Amino acid sequence: MQNDLPPAVTRLLGAPTPESQEGAWSAFLQAHNEVLLRAARALGPEHDGAMDRYAHVLQELRCDNFRRLRACTEQPPTNFSLWLAVVARRLALDHYRRIYGRGRPLRSGRHSERGARRRLTDLVTSAPDIELLADEGAVSPEDAVSRAEERQALKCALAELPPRDRLLLRFRFNEECSASEIARLMKLPTAFHVYRRLNKVLTILRHRLKQHGIDST
- pLDDT value, residue 151: 75
Where are the chain's structural domains?
A: 7-100, 113-211
HEC per residue, 106-148 = CCCCCCCHHHHHHHHHHHHCCCCCHHHCCCHHHCCHHHHHHHH
Per-residue pLDDT, averaged over 38-64, amounts to 85
Q: Give CA separation, 77 vs 143, 166, 169, in Å.
A: 38, 13, 17
Pairwise CA distance, residues 183 & 138, whole Å: 42
Alpha carbons within 13 A on the beta-carbon side of 160: 16
Q: What is the pLDDT of residues 111-153, one digit of tens each?
A: 444 455 555 554 454 333 333 333 444 455 666 666 677 777 7
- pLDDT value, residue 24: 93
* pLDDT confidence band for 102 (50 / 70 / 90): low
Per-residue pLDDT, averaged over 35-41, amounts to 87
DSSP code of residue 14: T
- pLDDT value, residue 130: 31
Give Cβ neighbours of residue 187 (< 8 Å, ≥ 6 apart). none
Q: Which amino acid is at 48?
A: D
Pairwise CA distance, residues 180 & 147, whole Å: 34
* pLDDT confidence band for 158 (50 / 70 / 90): confident
- Is the pLDDT at 3 greater than 70? The verdict is no
- Is the pLDDT at 217 greater than 80? The verdict is no
- pLDDT value, residue 108: 39
The CATH class of 113-211 is mainly alpha
Q: Which residue has the higher pLDDT, 28 or 2?
A: 28
- pLDDT value, residue 106: 43
Per-residue pLDDT, averaged over 57-61, amounts to 92
| SS3 of residue 171 by DSSP | helix
Q: Which amino acid is at 89?
A: R
Q: Which residue has the higher pLDDT, 157 or 7?
A: 7
pTM surpassing 0.85? no
Q: Which of 6-15, 66-75, 119-128 has the lowest mean pLDDT?
A: 119-128
Taking the domain 7-100, which CATH number applies? 1.10.1740
